[in-house]
Structure 1
Amino acid sequence: MRILHTSDWHLGRQFHGASLDEDHDAVLAQVEAAIAEHAPDVLVIAGDIFDRATPPQSALRRFGDFVQRVGATCGTAIVLIAGNHDSAAQIGMMGVLADPERSLVRGPLDPEERPLLLEDEFGPVAISALPFSYEFAARACYANDAISCPADVLAEQIASARRHVPAGARWVVVAHAFVEGASTSEGERPLTRAVGGIETVPASVFVGAHYVALGHLHRPQAVGAGHVRYSGAPLAFGFDEEGHGKSMTLVDMAADGSIVTTALPIVPRRNVRTLRGKLAELLAAPEGSSDLVSVVLTDETPQIDPMKRLRKLYPHAVQLSYERHESAGARSLRDGRAALERPQDVIASFMGFVREKPMTEAEGSLVVEALADLAIAGEEA
C-alpha cells in the first residue's frame, strides 16, 4: 500500500498581510505531480485544509478544483479530516456526495469511527480518519463528562476506531494532534481551551497502528516512533521556519505493516528570509529578491521611509524592525499577541490582577464553557 501524506495546507492564509494564493497554487501543482509520478493508493490530508472556519471563496474554489482534477485523472483514494483551523461542519459536508469506497471525509465527531477499507495484493488496509475536536464536543459525542484534555479526546476516538478494524488488517490512523516531544513553529494555535490545560498527547495512544499520519505541527518529523509522523505544512507560515525544508511524505507499507518513508521535497514559489544590516547597505545590493522578507535594520538612528525604499528591491518585504528595539519590551509585546490565541489565559490573568487572587477551578470552567459557546455561535454564523 502506498500513501501520500500531507497536512496543514492552510488555504486562504496570508503571510503578514501578503496573499499566498499563487504560492498555494504552486504547492497543489506539486502534489498533483507527485500523485501522477508515484501513483499512491491514497492521498491523506491530515487537517487544517483551510486557515480558518470561514475561508474565502477563492480558497474553497481552489480546493474543490484540486479534488476534481485528482478524481478525474487517477484512481487515488482521498482521506481528509478537519483540523483545529477548519469548520468541522463544512469539512463534513464535503463528504456527503463522495464515493464511500474511494474516500473518507471526516468533520464532526462520530461515536462509531468506521475506517475506509482498501485492498492491495497483501490484503486489507483499514484507514481510520479522526478529526480534531475540542473537549466540550467530545464529552457530548461520547457521553463522557470525564473528558478534559486532548489526550482524552483522542483516546476515545482511538478506542472507537479500533473496534471497527477487521482482524488481520493493517491499520493506518490519520489524526490532528500535538504529540509529546514534537518540535513546534510559531504559526500553530493551541489545541485546548481549558485554563492551564495540557494539549499534548502521548505517542503510546496510537498503539496497534502501523502508520500514524499526523497534522497540526508544521515541521516534518517523526515523534515517539518512526511510524508516527508529521508531514509538516507545505509552506512556511512564520520567519522562524526560515531555512527549513518542506516536503510531503510518501509511505510504502509492506505485507507485515512495516513502512518505508520517503520525503518528497516541495519547492516553494517564494522563500521566507530575514535581512539584517544598515539601510544603505541593503539598498546597495546588486539585485533584490521576490522572497517574503523580514528586515532588521542595524542603523543607530531612525531612517526616512525605509520600507518604501526597500520595497523597490524587495517588493514582498512584509516586516521591518530595528535591531536596537529587539529588547525585552519587544519580546513582551510579541508574547502578549501570542497570548491572545489563548483567551482563557488572558481572562485568568486579568481576574488575578484585579482581585489579587487566582481564578478558581469553578470559575475557570465557566470561562471555558462561555468561550466554547462563542466558538459554536461563530461557526454557526
Structure 2
Amino acid sequence: MRILHTSDWHLGRQFHGLSLEEDHDHVLVQILSIIDDHRPDVVIVAGDIFDRANPPQGAIRRLSEFLTTVRAISDAAIVLIAGNHDSAAQIGAMGVLANDGEAIVRGPLDEDERPLIISDAHGPVAISALPFAFEYAARLCFEDDGIASPADVIRAQIASARKHIGDDMRWVVVAHAFVDGAATSESERPLVRTVGGIETVSATAFDRAHYVALGHLHRPQSVGHDHIRYSGAPLAFGFDEEGQEKSVSLIDLAPDGSVEVTVMPIKPLRQVRSIRGKLLELLAATGVSHDLVRVVLTDETPQIDPMKRIREFYPNAVQLAYDRNERPVAQRLEEQRAAIDDPQTLASTFLEFVRGDALSETEAGIVASALHAFETTEEGQ
C-alpha cells in the first residue's frame, strides 16, 4: 500500500508580515502533481493544516479546493487530523469536504478511537488518526485525572485505538506530537502551556504500529526508526530553515509491515535566505531578487535608511541586523575593553562612529602627538 504523508502546511500564515498565499498555491499544486503521478492509496495531512484557530477565508478555500481536486484525480483515502495550531471543531467539520470516498477526519478527541480500515491485495490496513489535544481536554474525554502531559495524552489515545486493531492488520498511526530525539525549528509553537512542562513523547508509545505519520516539527526526519517519521513542513517559516530541502514523504507499506520511504522534493516559489556584506556591496548586486531575505550588514557604522535602499533590489527583505551586534556579548565586551586600553584606537572608533570615517594618517599623527605630550606631562609631575 502506498501512502503520501504531509503535514504542517500552516495555511494563512505570513512570513514577517508578508503574505504566503502564492507560495502555498505553488506548493499545493506540486503535492497534487505527486498524487496524480504516483497514485497513493492514502493521503495523510498530519495536523497544523491552518496556522491559527480562526484562519482567513482564503486558507479555508485552499483546503477545500485541494480535497476536491484529490477526489477528482485519484481514489485515495483522505486522512486529516487537527494540530496544535488548528481549531479541533473546525477540522472535524472538514469531514464534510472529504465524504465522497474513504476518509477519516479527526478534530476533537474521541474516547473510542476507531480506525479507517482499507484493504489491498495483502489484507487490511488500519489507520488510526489521533488529533492533537491539550491535557485538560484529554482528562475530560478519557475521564482520567492522571493525564498531565502530552505523553499521557498520546498513551490514552493509543490505548483507545489499539483495541480496534486485529492481529491480521497492518497499523498506521497519524499523530501530532514532539517525539524524543527529533530536531526542532524556531517557528514551532510549544505543545505545553506550563513553564517547565515536558512536551516530548517517547517513540515507545507507538509500539506495534507499522508506520507513524507525524506532524508538528518542520524538518523532514525519521526519529529512532525509519517507520516513525515527520514529513516536515513543505514551506520554510523561519530563517533557521534556510537551505533545508522541503518535501513530502511517499511510504510503501509492504505485506509484512515493513516500510520504504521515498522523499519527494518540493520546490518553493521563493527561497528563504540570508545575505551578508557591506551595504554598498549589496546594492551593487545585478538584478532584483524576490526571495524572502534577512540582511546582515558588515559595515562598522550605522548606515542611512539601509532597508529602503536594500528593498530596491530585495523587495522582500524583512529583517536587518549588523554583524557587529551579532558577535557574542563576551567578544564585544573584550573588544570594547581593548579599545579603552588603547586611546588611539578609541579616538579612531569614536570619529568613525560620528562621521563615518576613521582617523586619517595626518589625524592619527596629531592624536599620537597629543597623547605623547600628555604622557610626558604626567611623568614630569
TM-score by length of 2: 0.85
Q: Counterpart amino acid of 1:200?
A: T
Partner of 1:374: none
Partner of 1:221: 221
Partner of 1:284: 284
List runs of 5+ in structure 1 lacking aligned partners.
Answer: 330-381
After superposition, where does 1:66-215 map in structure 2 within 5 Å? 66-96=66-96, 98-99=98-99, 102-215=102-215
3-state SS in 2 of match to 1:79: strand
Partner of 1:49: 49
In structure 2, what is the Cα distance between the partners aligned to 1:100 and 1:276? 52
C-alpha contact (below 8 Å) 2:274/2:293 kept by paired residues: yes
C-alpha contact (below 8 Å) 2:277/2:299 kept by paired residues: yes
C-alpha contact (below 8 Å) 2:67/2:97 kept by paired residues: no
Q: What is the RMSD computed on CA atoms of the aligned residues? A: 1.2
- Say if 2:3 is the partner of 1:7: no
In structure 2, what is the Cα distance between the partners aligned to 1:214 and 1:252? 16
Q: Counterpart amino acid of 2:242?
A: E
Partner of 1:308: 308
Deviation at 1:100, TM superposition (A): 8.1
| Deviations 1:172-204, CA, capped at 9 Å, x for gaps | 000000000000000001001133110000000
Deviation at 1:328, TM superposition (A): 6.1
| Deviations 1:230-286, CA, capped at 9 Å, x for gaps | 000000000000001101000001111111010000001111110011100000112
In structure 1, what is the Cα distance between the partners aligned to 2:320 and 2:140? 47
In structure 2, what is the Cα distance between the partners aligned to 1:195 and 1:57? 34
| Deviations 1:301-359, CA, capped at 9 Å, x for gaps | 11111111111111111111111222568xxxxxxxxxxxxxxxxxxxxxxxxxxxxxx
In structure 1, what is the Cα distance between the partners aligned to 2:195 and 2:145? 17
In structure 1, what is the Cα distance between the partners aligned to 2:304 and 2:203? 53
Pick which of 248-257 and 186-195 moved more.
186-195
C-alpha contact (below 8 Å) 1:101/1:117 kept by paired residues: no
In structure 2, what is the Cα distance between the partners aligned to 1:48 and 1:39? 24
Partner of 2:60: 60
In structure 2, what is the Cα distance between the partners aligned to 1:224 and 1:258? 15
C-alpha contact (below 8 Å) 1:101/1:116 kept by paired residues: no
Structure 2 CA distance for partners of 1:255 and 1:65, relative to 1, 3 Å: same
In structure 2, what is the Cα distance between the partners aligned to 1:124 and 1:135? 32
Partner of 1:325: 325
Matched length: 329
In structure 2, what is the Cα distance between the partners aligned to 1:77 and 1:165? 19
Structure 2 CA distance for partners of 1:100 and 1:174, relative to 1, 3 Å: farther
Structure 2 CA distance for partners of 1:100 and 1:165, relative to 1, 3 Å: farther
In structure 1, what is the Cα distance between the partners aligned to 2:155 and 2:263? 29
Deviation at 1:96, TM superposition (A): 4.2
Partner of 1:357: none
Partner of 1:34: 34
Partner of 1:273: 273
C-alpha contact (below 8 Å) 2:68/2:97 kept by paired residues: no
Partner of 1:251: 251
In structure 2, what is the Cα distance between the partners aligned to 1:225 and 1:92? 30
Q: Counterpart amino acid of 1:39?
A: R
Deviation at 1:287, TM superposition (A): 2.5
List runs of 5+ in structure 2 lacking aligned partners.
Answer: 330-381
Structure 2 CA distance for partners of 1:100 and 1:155, relative to 1, 3 Å: farther
C-alpha contact (below 8 Å) 2:111/2:142 kept by paired residues: yes
3-state SS in 2 of match to 1:36: helix
Q: Counterpart amino acid of 1:21?
A: E
In structure 1, what is the Cα distance between the partners aligned to 2:31 and 2:234? 10
Q: Counterpart amino acid of 1:162?
A: R
- Say if 2:296 is the partner of 1:296: yes
C-alpha contact (below 8 Å) 1:277/1:296 kept by paired residues: yes
TM-score by length of 1: 0.85
3-state SS in 2 of match to 1:95: helix
Deviation at 1:165, TM superposition (A): 1.4
In structure 2, what is the Cα distance between the partners aligned to 1:128 and 1:100? 20
In structure 2, what is the Cα distance between the partners aligned to 1:177 and 1:222? 13
C-alpha contact (below 8 Å) 2:290/2:315 kept by paired residues: yes
Deviation at 1:149, TM superposition (A): 0.3
